[in-house]
Structure 1
């Protein structure tokens, strides 16, 4: 593992990684001391760490996850391989540079620097960011270097900690849990601080009246996310954590933890850079998601994805063209009809016709921005409401306001209004689709409804939808055409990069041939 002190990565530098390949190591091979004012300041390091967190979630790891959960389908190059579960030998840069050599080392460096400056406001937020990004690493890979990582030359071969210990802690091994790391960060935010992030260096909450209060909400939202992640494996711990954190978490869409990007080249959201600049031919809307949204006339479809020209000839025999009525007005579709074109996951290996780029439904402005300025949406109010709805349904000891039914509808409403759909249109949508609006059947059938709607809400953040799918098995996804990869099934974890297995002696206990079909700890029954 690379353990250099990599610091001060600005927005432009972070986003520029999406276009680097062979030169990435040289680009980030920095060994100067982070404590030197000539190298980095807390504000610069803070901004870069926040922005890099959004970059990690929307770059290659997020793109692959979006294919696995069939938000998108791969139509060329690596995306076509990932779509069929061929992921071995991939993501070295994401592991070495974006996670361990990016967000994680930056977070730790900021924690250390804040301690020398008597500024726990910076250090506390850095702990929240460190916990968030370590959760990405362990959720995707399982056991990872954690308690001994980020120590530079002090330990260049860190031990792999068990995922259970990463989430729950292990005092005998000196492992602080992610949960306790977040709580420690929240406690820091209550302490007097010589310096605090503000309007000039806080890209997420800097414009709010009290950005520290907003970061506290983010921390409690992170605890809800962790509780939900481990809820099937550790229901008692999850229940306790939800009861502690729910009241302090988000209360509206305005609280969302979303990282802004810009429209200038090098500052753009990776979902724009990849899909509209660097590799516009490699991905498009999945037919599975299209069918799921079309059947109920979901008004988010034309907000998430671009319509395509109405076909003038026979529809492609793969059935990829779907026509959707226009937006609902007082519960009645408008006369305008929109056509969307999806693609079957794994279809490239079957020789299915790939539509020309002008006839593909691709991410629309809400997801990628006009020129890349759409934010990366990492933790959201609708996520909170879906978590509480599922918890009210499945965890008897949870004491939160609302029922599973009311929280479920509130979650869908929060997702829709976030995209710009009016309250009246959401109400009309519920009236027109009672099978969506009302939870029905057994507990598992109701959970399926909740997670399916959460899956739709998470378009643009494939990692969160991938976590939910592995934890619950919902939504029910059809197998891709011509699956490959390990055992021909949807990966339950990412394969460790070969560079890590060969460079880190601490990885000796990690089987180089561990099957990607083996579930991670919190997903095992």
Structure 2
């Protein structure tokens, strides 16, 4: 990463605070009269689209961050590293970073001070223009839910404008999650009758880089977010999770790769960070699971190294002591991606694994058994990546994670495998073994969406990961959260102190999320 590329100029604290202060409540407009499902004329929609299109684009850019600097600061340095999908190859990052649980505050604060204000300000304008009604408002609710879920799963409590007297006040993560559910319920309530009346409903296609304005697909995406939320909270709020998950599946989640949530942004963010800049390389954890399983997706995910060695694709240990970027870039594998590749944010495979876990938990009407849905998740992932037929892979009951051998021993060093979980489903296995098998394959399939991979490690404890290559101030191997912006303790002191109370722990990397109850 070049110094002038480390991050975009961050929105000034005073501006961010002002925007956050003016944010409407998470339920603002929920009880206002909604347009009838068949009463939104083309003229109405076109007028609203003209007035809101730029704000929808802004919300999409923050909900699915692919612009190179936004991607690096919101996704690559945080979720991609903490998920053990990628790790740093830049020796300039080696002393302070998220993998080592000591990132500089400029990195820690970026999602809070840049992405959150942009999301909030755009949503506020859409809510004003639409008067909290109609299709574009519903669209904005979905995008806000996507953005806020990412943010709360980084920090825990965040300001969502729930206090009408103080926009800088933090809400507990439990309350944030309830607001996400409310947003998505309202959005689907608005969109469902419109799509039922016109299944091909397409609006503002030229501005929508995700689904090209096809609202039948946005409806499936909203329901899929509900299922993702239901699985996320199932250990802490089992009754709510069951009700939400069953309803989401009944209403229709993504089941085909044709409906995957991907975004076209050129150049692709991961292409810039891994291929062009060479800041990120494959992480040893993902390499060793894929290599040990003889998984054909390994060559789909990563490029061969530039150096001849014992194996073509090599990952680097998390928290390695990188001595030289050029050397590391040659020794370890970059992402197998080009500048025109679409960013991947939610897939049919993930939804199959979510339904499999729902079936494992005893939820009704998931569309199959835990085994059949687990196998469907693997097959859909193979299909998504063009990895061939998954039949023999799914029948493999012997292959396990490989040991790791570092081509540069002084950087990370060798380490033995930490998991013995196999691929083939075993109905006679314990519930814990079933969860490990399911979570490990789900984690593989969610690549390259590191934010979600990180969430799965925290939520389930799986997959098991290698110890960090260098010691830290913590006993944990993966961060449970990232700290609040240091400036909040000074500039927003009272609210910061209340936010720490809402954490039920210290403002550090070790304190767990509300939903980490397994």
Pairwise same-fold verdict (TM > 0.5): yes
Counterpart position of 2:330 = 358
Counterpart position of 1:203 = 209
Counterpart position of 1:474 = 462
Question: Which runs of no fewer than 5 residues in structure 2 stay unpaired?
Answer: 24-46, 196-200, 399-421
Q: Do residues 59 (structure 1) and 72 (structure 2) align?
A: yes
Q: Do residues 231 (structure 1) and 234 (structure 2) align?
A: yes
Residue 182 (structure 1) shift: 0.6
> Which of residues 343, 347, 351 is equivalent to 1:384?
351
Q: Given the superposition, is the C-alpha separation of residues 143 and 322 from structure 1 closer, same or farther in structure 2, using an over 3 Å criterion?
A: farther
* RMSD of aligned alpha carbons: 3.2
Q: Is the 8 A contact 1:242 1:398 kept in 2?
A: no
Counterpart position of 2:222 = 219
User: How many residues are aligned here?
Assistant: 447
CA deviations over 1:315-352 (Å, ceiling 9, x no partner)? xxxxxx553xxxxxxxxxxxxxxx11222222217x79
Give the SS at the match of 1:436: coil
CA deviations over 1:183-215 (Å, ceiling 9, x no partner)? 01111224669x9733222222226xxx12111
Structure 1 residues 100-109 or 466-475, which shifts more? 100-109
> Which of residues 332, 345, 363 is equivalent to 2:318?
345
Q: Do residues 95 (structure 1) and 112 (structure 2) align?
A: yes
Counterpart position of 1:257 = 261
Counterpart position of 1:73 = 87
Query: Which of structure 1's runs of 4+ aligned residues deviate more than 6 A?
Result: 26-34, 351-354
Residue 389 (structure 1) shift: 0.7
Give the SS at the match of 2:382: helix
> Which of residues 288, 297, 307 is equivalent to 1:300?
297
Task: Give, in whole Å, the separation in 2 of the partners of 1:246 and 1:97.
Answer: 34
TM-score w.r.t. structure 1 length? Answer: 0.77
Give the SS at the match of 2:63: helix
Task: Give, in whole Å, the separation in 2 of the partners of 1:192 and 1:475.
Answer: 41
Q: Do residues 416 (structure 1) and 418 (structure 2) align?
A: no
Question: Which runs of no fewer than 5 residues in structure 1 stay unpaired?
Answer: 1-15, 169-176, 263-267, 312-320, 324-338
CA deviations over 1:58-106 (Å, ceiling 9, x no partner)? 43232222222221222322366322221352322221111x2122332
Q: Do residues 407 (structure 1) and 396 (structure 2) align?
A: no
Q: Given the superposition, is the C-alpha separation of residues 232 and 488 from structure 1 closer, same or farther in structure 2, using an over 3 Å criterion?
A: closer
Match runs of 1:24-35 below 5 Å? 24-25=10-11
Task: Give, in whole Å, the separation in 1 of the partners of 2:454 and 2:260.
Answer: 20
Residue 29 (structure 1) shift: 6.4
CA deviations over 1:101-130 (Å, ceiling 9, x no partner)? 1223323322332227xx611100100111
CA deviations over 1:109-164 (Å, ceiling 9, x no partner)? 22332227xx6111001001111111111111111112437x8xx74x52211111
Residue 411 (structure 1) shift: 0.2
TM-score w.r.t. structure 2 length? Answer: 0.78
Q: Is the 8 A contact 1:104 1:133 kept in 2?
A: no
Residue 432 (structure 1) shift: 5.0
Residue 28 (structure 1) shift: 12
Q: Do residues 429 (structure 1) and 393 (structure 2) align?
A: yes
> Which of residues 91, 100, 122 is equivalent to 2:136?
122
Q: Given the superposition, is the C-alpha separation of residues 431 and 18 from structure 1 closer, same or farther in structure 2, using an over 3 Å criterion?
A: farther
Counterpart position of 1:12 = none
